[in-house]
Amino acid sequence: MNPKAVVDKPKSKISASRKLSLKMMLLARAMEELDKETVDREDEKVRYLGEKLPPLQVSSLSMKELQHLCEQLHAKLGTTDEERYDCEEKVTKHNKDIRELKLKVQDLGGKFKKPALRKVRVSADEMMRALLGSKHKGSMDLRGNLKSVKKEDNKEVSTSEVGDWRKNVEAMSGMEGRKKMFDAAGGQ
């Protein structure tokens, strides 16, 4: 690539002073729109309240009529409060749904990729050290704890057991026999 092509940026066709004046005009226009919007909201609020709440004429009413008017206002207050509560609940529910959908969009966006898993060979000692930390003492040599069997010993044992089976059964029948079997198995 040509180094001059990287350094040279396309120049703007609008001068800096013109850009600044355009920005100022846009900001002024935005401020006017905001002011107009707040005035419109206030007008709408006054119109809505005038529509929903006509002015009260209490001076010419008797005590019973005043009580009846209070009951009507109380009933309207209850329905209005229920509507307000329902609207608030709808808004909170919609906000919660929006948050959940945003999280789903982020998950589906694919920004986070799962790394390819590699096989890791970890010995039993390393695994216990990772799980227990400094509490792990001693080594766990699992292969060392396995019973080793020699083929020569198996042949000798099988030839000695081939003899008279009745004697073998009588010798092993009591508690002494079980102890002999246990000792014989543990000695190998």
Is 50 a member of any domain?
A: yes
Is 81 a member of any domain?
A: yes
Q: What is the mean pLDDT of residues 48-54?
A: 84
Mean pLDDT of the chain: 78
Is 118 a member of any domain?
A: no
Task: Specify whether 48 is located in the same domain as 66.
Answer: no
Counting the structural domains of the chain, the total is: 2
Task: Specify whether 68 is located in the same domain as 105.
Answer: yes
Of residues 18, 14, 38, 15, the one with CA closest to residue 26 = 18
Task: Specify whether 46 is located in the same domain as 65.
Answer: no
pLDDT one-digit tens code per residue, 107-149: 787 666 677 888 878 777 777 777 777 666 666 666 666 777 6
Is 34 a member of any domain?
A: yes
Is the distance from CB of 140 to CB of 124 less than 8 angstroms?
A: yes
Task: Specify whether 49 is located in the same domain as 75.
Answer: no
C-alpha 119/C-alpha 162 separation (Å) is 50
Q: Which residue range forms the structural domain that includes residue 43?
A: 18-54
Is the distance from CB of 177 to CB of 171 less than 8 angstroms?
A: yes
Task: Specify whether 66 is located in the same domain as 42.
Answer: no
pLDDT one-digit tens code per residue, 142-160: 666 677 766 664 445 555 5
Task: Specify whether 73 is located in the same domain as 106.
Answer: yes
CB within 8 Å of 140: residues ≥ 6 apart: 124, 125, 128
Is 80 a member of any domain?
A: yes
Task: Specify whether 77 is located in the same domain as 39.
Answer: no
- Please report, in angstroms and rounded to a whole number, the separation of the first and last CA atoms in the chain: 78
Q: What is the mean pLDDT of residues 61-89?
A: 92
φ/ψ of residue 41, rounded to 5 = -60, -45
Task: Specify whether 24 is located in the same domain as 43.
Answer: yes
pLDDT > 70 in the chain, percent: 63
Task: Specify whether 75 is located in the same domain as 102.
Answer: yes
Better-scored residue on pLDDT, 74 or 142: 74
pLDDT > 90 in the chain, percent: 34
Check residue 141 and give its pLDDT: 63
Final residue in a domain of this structure, among 30, 54, 78: 54
Is 71 a member of any domain?
A: yes
Max CA distance (Å), the chain: 127
Is 125 a member of any domain?
A: no
